[in-house]
């Protein structure tokens, strides 16, 4: 059959531009200049004989014809992507998994060998970032992020999560891995030095440790108990949770972290959780992938394994024993 088709690069440039509504951002995604994207769009418009975008002063908008065409193009590219994966499913597969840095280090990496040993034909390429993932760029097949799903309701008093999980929700499939439960953690040596922690008020005698990605965690957590961060508290600030945890281990202060990051501390007495872990945040940890990726056997195997591993985490009711040690009374 003689297919009359425009160049694939023009279609990819168009599809990326429809998501970003920006030739510049589409170019960044495809590693092309803004001018190159613009030329591909003009080429496609010439091929079709109609305008796909309205060029405004500071932005672009889809024309009615462009909107209708983009739906078909996105669907067609998804079909091609799935068919390509199916064609190579019996060969060595590489799945790129994009995970938050500390979660990758403290929860995933100690477990990942179990999966790769069981599935030697699947290689998991692990990358890490806290940025919103762009699953349409094909830099990642699956991502783990923490945040909120649009439209999902949470307790207004729950600690906030200011992170965006993905640049674009359209065409993204989501499965929850585990709740995000914030817990205060502290070195037993620091407790011996400063004093016991029997109530949230007792935390205020310690220096607080903050993490940049969850800058409201302490203030939101304390507000639930009617408390505020003291104006003169002089908190320590770190860019990532692995830095925050190290500072807590080094007795620099008391940190507030997601409970899942403490899984590898069980029985080590390096950190204690002096108060019950009963404070879910306004969000959760989620698996994200393209909707079309659900049909990929290798990706489904990895996601099912991740969900099983997540199910082994303690429930909220039992979390108080996770890293609990004897704290002086």
pLDDT at 268: 65
Order of all β-strands in the sheet with 254-258: 122-128, 93-99, 142-147, 280-290, 172-185, 254-258, 208-211, 236-238
Contact between 217 and 181 under an 8 Å Cβ cutoff? The reply is no
pLDDT (tens digit, 0 to 9) for every residue of the chain, 329 residues total? 677 889 999 999 999 999 989 999 899 888 899 999 999 999 999 999 999 999 988 889 999 999 999 989 988 988 888 777 666 655 668 899 999 988 998 889 989 999 999 998 899 999 998 888 888 876 889 999 988 877 666 566 677 776 678 877 888 889 999 888 889 999 999 999 999 999 999 999 999 999 988 888 999 999 989 999 988 888 999 988 989 999 999 999 999 998 888 876 665 678 888 887 667 777 889 999 988 888 889 999 999 999 999 988 764 433 333 333 333 33
Helix axes of 109-118 and 297-311: crossing angle, nearest 10 degrees: 130
Tokens 């600030």 sit on residue: 237
Where are the alpha helices (H) located in 183-324, listed in sequence order? 188-194, 217-223, 241-249, 297-311
pLDDT at 106: 84
Output the DSSP codes for 9-71: HHHHHHHHHHHHS-HHHHHHHHT--HHHHHHHHHHHHHHHTS--EEE-SS-EEE-HHHHHHHH
The CA angle 98-103-108, to the nearest 5 degrees, is: 80
Contact between 264 and 107 under an 8 Å Cβ cutoff? The reply is yes
Contact between 95 and 287 under an 8 Å Cβ cutoff? The reply is no
Strand 53-55 and strand 93-99: pairing?
A: unpaired
pLDDT at 1: 66
The domain covering 181-281+317-321 belongs, at the CATH homologous superfamily level, to Periplasmic binding protein-like II (3.40.190.10)
Asked if 8-87 and 93-178+287-312 have one fold, the answer is no
Buried residues in 52-91 as b, exposed as e (16+ CB within 10 A)? bbeeeeeebebeeebeebbeebbeebbeeebeebeeeeee
Assigned token pair, 166: 């993905």
pLDDT at 322: 35
Where are the alpha helices (H) located in the chain, listed in sequence order? 8-20, 23-30, 34-48, 64-87, 101-103, 109-118, 188-194, 217-223, 241-249, 297-311
Domain positions in the chain: 8-87, 93-178+287-312, 181-281+317-321
CATH of domain 8-87: 1.10.10.10
pLDDT at 168: 76
From residue 303, how far is each of 113, 168, 224, 280, 299 by CA, in Å? 15, 20, 35, 23, 6
Contact between 54 and 61 under an 8 Å Cβ cutoff? The reply is yes
pLDDT at 155: 64
pLDDT at 315: 47
Assigned token pair, 218: 């302490």
Domain 93-178+287-312's class?
alpha beta
Residue 220 buriedness (CB in 10 A; 0-12 / 13-18 / 19+): buried
């Amino acid at each position: 059959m003689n297919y009359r088709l425009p160049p694939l690069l023009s279609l990819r440039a168009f599809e990326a531009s429809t998501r970003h509504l920006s030739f510049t951002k589409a170019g960044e995604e495809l590693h092309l200049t803004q001018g190159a994207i613009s030329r591909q769009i003009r080429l496609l418009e010439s091929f079709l004989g109609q305008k796909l975008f309205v060029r405004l002063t500071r932005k672009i908008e889809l024309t009615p014809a462009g909107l209708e065409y983009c739906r078909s193009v996105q669907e067609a590219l998804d079909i091609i992507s799935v068919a390509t994966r199916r064609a190579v499913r019996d060969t060595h597969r590489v799945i790129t998994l994009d995970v938050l840095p500390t979660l990758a280090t403290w929860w995933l990496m100690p477990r990942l060998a179990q999966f790769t040993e069981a599935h030697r034909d699947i290689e998991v390429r692990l990358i890490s970032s806290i940025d919103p993932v762009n699953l349409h760029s094909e830099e990642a097949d699956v991502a783990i992020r923490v945040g909120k799903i649009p439209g999902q309701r949470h307790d207004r008093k729950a600690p906030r999560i200011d992170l965006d999980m993905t640049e674009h929700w359209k065409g993204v499939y989501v499965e929850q891995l585990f709740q995000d439960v914030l817990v205060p953690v502290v070195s037993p040596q620091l407790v011996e030095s400063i004093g016991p922690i029997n109530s949230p008020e007792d935390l205020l005698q310690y220096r607080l440790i903050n993490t940049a990605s969850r800058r409201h965690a302490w203030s939101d957590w304390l507000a639930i108990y009617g408390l505020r961060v003291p104006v003169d508290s002089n908190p320590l600030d770190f860019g990532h949770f692995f830095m925050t945890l190290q500072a807590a281990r080094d007795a620099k202060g008391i940190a507030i972290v997601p409970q899942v990051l403490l899984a590898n501390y069980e029985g080590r007495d390096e950190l204690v959780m002096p108060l019950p872990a009963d404070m879910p945040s306004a969000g959760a940890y989620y698996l994200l992938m393209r909707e079309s990726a659900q049909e990929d056997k290798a990706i489904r195997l990895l996601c099912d394994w991740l969900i099983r591993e997540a199910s082994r985490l303690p429930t909220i009711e039992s979390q108080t024993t996770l890293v609990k040690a004897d704290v002086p009374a």
